[in-house]
Structure 1
Amino acid sequence: MNIALMSHDNKKELMVQFCTAYAGILSQHHIYATNATGHMVADATGLNVHCFLSYDHGGSQQIGARIAYNEFDLVLFFNDPSDDKMMSAVSYIARLCDQNNIPFASNIATAEMLVLGLARGDLDWRCIVNPSTRPIA
């Protein structure tokens, strides 16, 4: 499955810790991320992470476009709720996920449930919606 990772600046280290804890599960899937988050995760875990542009240069729009085309099966966007100026980015990604029935987590608690469900096969229904599990370009 294709998994997108995003995180606000104050949550990047939490994303790294999360991906380190679940590297065994994540390594069985195709991982994509915005630039800084992706490099931090790849450096810490050894996971193969395809990095898009940084958030400031359009990385969230690149991920958003792929969500709109139903190319992601799971989106983890660790949100910093104390950063009001970034709330529009979370809203934008969450709305696109809702429109395309893509599981979305904005915090570590929900992300853990989704990744554990992924390991159990609870998200296999996404293979019907998005039959191609090959990496996106």
Structure 2
Amino acid sequence: MEKVMDAAKRIALIAHDQMKASLVAWCKKNHEALSHHILCGTGTTAKLIAEESGLPVRGYLSGPLGGDQQIGAKVAEGEIDMIIFLSDPLTAQPHDPDVKALLRIAQVYNIPIANNLATADFIISSPMFSSCYTYTRPDYVRGRS
């Protein structure tokens, strides 16, 4: 099934504790580009980005309390177009199954997900970031992907 992402993307912003400062700095650096989109994020990350960058960010629960799962549900419902998730590859996370589930759901629904700053930079600098984009949303119910 084809789906069109509007020019204004719905972007989830998530970061593990050791990566929050990096994501906040990235959001500040990319304030102008991000200001044209609808932003959400998990718990403390959303709050920090909003406070330190001035960008409006809708906050969900923190990751360990179900925020990753809330974001995943919004992806499945077609309400999130992309995810910037700076995960900490060097620290074990107590909610690792939730993190893996979120990564899986982004893959299942064919939405862009950045797990590091380099990928986030590639996404935000793409001409598709600011324009409409038609992509295929797999129809697993009917067996078409």
Question: What TM-score do you get using the length of structure 1 for normalisation?
Answer: 0.85
What does the per-residue CA deviation read over 1:57-110, in whole Å, with 9 as the maximum and x for residues that have no partner? 211111011011121111010010012335433321111011101000010100
Alignment match of 2:103 (pick from 70, 75, 94): 94
Aligned: 1:29 with 2:37: yes
Question: After superposition, where does 1:14-93 map in structure 2 within 5 Å?
Answer: 14-85=22-93, 86-93=95-102
State the Cα distance separating 1:24 from its structure 2 match. Answer: 0.4
Cα distance change of structure 1 residues 126 and 37 upon mapping to structure 2, 3 Å threshold: farther
Q: Aligned letter for 2:89?
A: P
- Residue 121 of structure 2 is matched in structure 1 by 112
2:47–2:59 contact (8 Å) kept in structure 1:
yes
Q: Aligned letter for 2:22?
A: L
Paired with 2:48 and 2:26, the residues of 1 have a C-alpha distance of 12
Cα distance change of structure 1 residues 127 and 27 upon mapping to structure 2, 3 Å threshold: farther
* Structure 2 unaligned blocks of 5 or more: 1-8, 138-145
Aligned residue pairs, count: 127
Aligned-residue Cα RMSD (Å) equals: 1.8
1:73–1:126 contact (8 Å) kept in structure 2:
no
Q: Aligned letter for 2:38?
A: H
Cα distance change of structure 1 residues 102 and 81 upon mapping to structure 2, 3 Å threshold: same
Bigger relative contact order, structure 1 or 2 (CA pairs below 8 A, ≥6 apart): 2
Whose strand proportion is higher, 1 or 2? Answer: 2
